[in-house]
Amino acid sequence: MSELVTYRLEEGVATIAMDDGKANALSPTMLSQLNAALDRAAADRAIVILTGRPGMFSAGFDLSVITARGSNAVTMIRQGFELAERLLSYPAPLIVACSGHALAMGVFLVLTGDYCVGADGAYKIGANEVAIGLPMPRAAIEICRQRLAPAHLNRALITSEIYTPDAAVAAGFLDRVVTGSELQDEARAAAARFARLDRNALAATKRLAREPTLKALGGAIEEDAVTFRTLMGVP
């Protein structure tokens, strides 16, 4: 199995980086490796920095699996949103270093971060499902609802507005934009700040603050599974 995800632990901070050399498609293999990296981070009780390769965070699900339809597509979509659910409930600080383009399921992973910093550049950030003819999954709506500014929620979801990194800050996708060369330094500086917080209090507060979202997200994943079985031709 090729290595699509790398794991590096330094001073209690685990950097989990996606790199398939292309669009960082969230294929079954990529999702499996991301979950394995999170298993390691949880065992190490590490603060997590989730990132991509320069110029590309992730363009979303593997379209070759989706266009093939069938049970593999249904399983992949479910696993993607279950990964987002897991990231939202990760008990230690989770920093997303958005290294470039982030679209569809890729941007939904960005929205799981406790702190999201993006690289400046001519990058596209947004949820483009409607633009390519796909109804927005219920789970995606719940992920967006918990972070996007109300004025941007409809624009992002219903009209598939695509944002530049700077505009993505106002919308709520990102908290800050820095140059690409500063991205990892900013993510690690944030990790150092968060390391000084009481870990138990942080975990408890995150759990309480996100309890409504996680409850709604769990139900949405189940409802989406039924919808996508029909869409993908699975009895």
The structural domains of the chain, ordered by start, are: 5-195 (3.90.226.10)
Does 1 have pLDDT greater than 70?
Answer: no
What is the percent of the chain with per-residue pLDDT over 70, rounded to a whole number? 100
Torsion-angle region of 135 (φ positive above 0: left; ψ -120 to 50: alpha; else: beta): beta
Token pair of 126 as six digits = 């947004």
CA gap 219, 118 in Å, rounded:
30
- Quote the distance between the C-alpha of residue 125 and its chain's center: 12
Average pLDDT over residues 196-218: 98
Q: Which one-letter amino acid corresponds to residue 123? A: Y
3-state secondary structure of 137: coil
Segment 69-75 shows an average pLDDT of 95
Summarize pLDDT for 106-154 with one digit per residue, the tens. 999 999 999 999 999 999 999 999 998 888 999 999 999 999 999 999 9
Segment 149-176 mean pLDDT = 97
Q: What is the pLDDT of residue 135?
A: 86
Alpha-carbon distances of 17 from 3, 132, 143, 176, rounded to whole Å: 11, 27, 21, 19
Q: For residue 134, what pLDDT is reported?
A: 84
Decide if pLDDT at 212 tops 80: yes
DSSP state of 7: E
d(CA 34, CA 179): 26
The sheet carrying 5-10 orders its strands as 5-10, 13-18, 47-51, 94-98, 115-119, 176-178
Q: Is the pLDDT of residue 73 over 90?
A: yes
pTM over 0.85: yes
Structure tokens at 123: 């990058």
Binned at pLDDT 50, 70 and 90, residue 2 comes out as: confident
Other beta carbons less than 10 A from residue 165's beta carbon:
23
